[in-house]
Amino acid sequence: MRDAALLELVYSTGARISEAVSLDVDDLDLDGGAPAVRLFGKGRKERVVPVGSFAARAVGAYLVRSRPELSARGRGTPAVFLNARGARMSRQSAWAVLRGAAERAGLGAHVSPHTLRHSFATHLLAGGADVRVVQELLGHASVTTTQLYTLVTPDALREVYAATHPRALG
């Protein structure tokens, strides 16, 4: 449950893996109509990011059903994601969780925690999100950094061409 919650939260929010493992329970607001998480990025810059329903359910289930058992093994840390000893999960452990999930899915070694962050940004932009909104959600200081995610794929080029050019078909 912990691993599923971690992966869902990272993809849903575009969080860096270090931001996710640094989360404390008080940084989560999953009870209201608009679930959100408070993330602390580079330089401890704070931002509040919405949490999607899949992630909110996964994290909520983990907090209720699995975290208490893990927490009982430790010293009462406020960390959201705990290891088997009840201490805060490390970045390396989170990497291992992702690596294992990628292997089980047959995705191989080309998946990293940043892959989920990249997918988050790419999917938002492909869905029509403004690049400045994505910049804020990712916590980028410069829009130039965010624009790296706006690269158009060959499939997207073909799709747009076929759908919009008057002489594309026939």
Active site (catalytic) residues: 16, 42, 114, 117, 140, 149
- Amino acid identity at 16: R
The whole-angstrom separation of Cα 45 and Cα 110 is 29
Q: Which long-range contacts (CB under 8 A, 24 or more apart) does 24-33 make?
A: 24/78, 24/79, 24/80, 25/63, 25/78, 25/79, 25/80, 26/78, 27/80, 28/59, 28/63, 28/80, 30/56, 30/59, 30/60, 30/63
Q: Which residues contact 11 (CB under 8 A, 6 or more apart)?
A: 55, 116, 119, 120
Q: Which residues are bridge partners to 38 per DSSP?
A: 48
Query: What's the burial of 59, exposed, middle or buried (CB within 10 Å: 0-12/13-18/19+)?
Result: buried
